[in-house]
Chains A and B, each alone.
Chain A
């Protein structure tokens, strides 16, 4: 087991580190978006509610390759959004690791929104009206009552997103390709190694790394969730 770290080749390390970077960034960046979407879906009713709900969940039911291709069409250098982005900010997402972050975030968002939304719907709203009678304005009620009570759901949502981002393959490989040292994540590295003769040991090493990372994330989330449940403020 200790050998696994020294046995990894520099290219494999690149894939591991890129995977961690993509999954972490995708989680952190989509957290505010997911939170806002979850609260809107849980708390409000408006004409486009069902459509918004459907759009958020679409990546969950579509083939990942289709999502990746749609991203390429929209955000590729010739796509309308992609061309606009390049013109205004110089940022090119397609075939770049930043594009992998976008792909992972979109694929993981439904899972994150579902978990957070459930926790929001589970909150006893009578606690919020009690807070109002104690002088807390609606924003203060949200930050002092609603958000802390949603915390276990937020943690669960973040972990689901992280795990989904780590495993993301179809949309990623379609949108950003499989360029060693640039856009190659753990799943695409495993895939590449399985395509060449004698690549099995490398695929196995990467698989072990994937298991270790996933398990560590699970343990961390469980520890955080316990603290959130226990960690009342004084």
Chain B
């Protein structure tokens, strides 16, 4: 699926101009709260009308200001999961689930049993919506959107209205949907953690404008936007395979640049996982690095040194093809003779990895 968006929207006195193309399974619109991310999603769904531009999915035009085309919301076949669950209070959970499903006759791909089981809500079906917890309500809302068999699913900060504990209850379900159902997702979030775990592509939005878009790690290691992503405490991600879990409960992950040791009880041996590493958690070692408590050592080559907010610099590293950023002081960089092209060791504390809800 290709989603192409090039629009200008005005809601109240807020202006949003955004232009991006998405082909990934999960595209995250990432930026601070109030950056216009939700407005962008609403325009894609057809809930707000841009005053300029064009929106198309796989060449089918959903909106084109100049051609005076605007497909109404209910014919766009775009699922929307809102920040609040927005369940219909006069219907049971089951009544909510089948609401869109009935209307999708003839082009249904979502299987009721599969979706209900994926989200673990089978037992909730006969219940009234009023008695659901925030996490349960949000799972029902996700299932309801999926059961309408949309061709694209929009997630508007689906975890914003639930507390931190509930987030970790819902995130795995989103990962499962991404991996098991063949549906493209556009996701909005100001949580770096969420974006790192879910996204393939990222559109960075700042001050009502999309400032960069592309594959996840390209964006998060991109020098032009590093100051933005660093403010959002983004970091970069490495994909690694879980090799073993040792007696102390630590997981050993294999990566071409070295072995990573992380503490995460949720990991299963054999799985490929995404590890988020923030720039402030990465140190650089030159030469022999014995006598350190830090177990995670990745062979790296320096690709660039960028000025960050003084007194820091961001050292960009290439770890066997994956990007990593280390935020160190300018003084340390001078003392260690850090320069582009030099082979170094990237050091990451185990305790700094896998903390899934640091934000």
Contact = CB atoms under 8 A, between A and B. Distances in A.
Interface string A129-173: 111111111101100110011000000000000000000000000
A131 B257 CA distance: 49
A4 interface: no
A135 B89 contact: no
B342 interface: no
Contacts of B77: 135
Nearest to A132: B73
A3 interface: no
B89 A149 contact: yes
B145 A233 contact: no
Contacts of B250: none
Interface string A196-221: 00000000000000000000000000
Interface string A112-131: 00000000000010110111
B86 A135 contact: no
A123 B279 CA distance: 47
A139 to B, nearest CB: 10
A129 B103 contact: no
Contact of B90 (A134, A137, A149): A149
B63 interface: no
B30 interface: no
B94 interface: yes
A228 to B, nearest CB: 8
Contacts of B84: 126
A130 B82 contact: yes
B92 A130 contact: no
Given A126-B86, A127-B86, A133 B78 contact: yes
B86 A134 contact: no
B274 interface: no
Contacts of B7: none
B92 A232 contact: yes
Contacts of B20: none
Contact of A135 (B74, B94, B128): B74
B91 interface: yes
Nearest to A133: B80
A137 B74 contact: yes
B103 A135 contact: yes
Contact of A130 (B72, B80, B128): B80
A234 B126 CA distance: 8
Interface string B83-124: 010101111101100011001100000000000000000000
B313 interface: no
B320 interface: no
Contact of B73 (A124, A126, A133, A234): A133
B148 A148 contact: no
Nearest to A151: B90
Contacts of B100: 134-136
Contact of B89 (A129, A133, A137, A232): A232
B88 A133 contact: no
B80 A233 contact: no
A132 B148 CA distance: 11
B144 interface: yes
A101 B321 CA distance: 84
A127 B46 CA distance: 15
B92 A129 contact: no
A199 B9 CA distance: 75
B324 to A, nearest CB: 39
Contacts of B86: 124, 126-127, 130
Given A126-B86, A132-B47, A233 B78 contact: no
Interface centre among A134, A137, A149 (most CB of B within 10 A): A134
A149 B86 CA distance: 14
Given A144-B99, A232-B128, A134 B144 contact: yes
Contacts of A124: 86
Nearest to B73: A132
Nearest to A126: B86
Interface in A20-74: none
Contacts of B145: 133-134
Contacts of A137: 72, 74
Interface centre among A127, A130, A133, A141 (most CB of B within 10 A): A133
B26 interface: no
Nearest to B141: A130
B92 A134 contact: no
A131 B79 CA distance: 10
Interface centre among B47, B76, B88, B99 (most CB of A within 10 A): B88
A148 B91 CA distance: 10
Given A137-B72, A232-B95, A233-B95, 8 more contacts: A130-B80, A130-B86, A132-B46, A133-B79, A136-B99, A232-B91, A233-B90, A233-B91
Give 7 nearest A-B pairs by CB, closest first.
Answer: A134-B100, A135-B103, A132-B73, A133-B80, A130-B86, A134-B148, A232-B90
Interface of B: 45-47, 72-80, 82, 84, 86, 88-92, 94-95, 99-100, 103-104, 126, 128, 144-145, 148
17 contacts: A130-B82, A130-B88, A132-B73, A133-B76, A134-B103, A134-B145, A135-B104, A135-B148, A137-B74, A148-B90, A149-B89, A231-B90, A232-B128, A233-B91, A233-B92, A234-B91, A234-B95
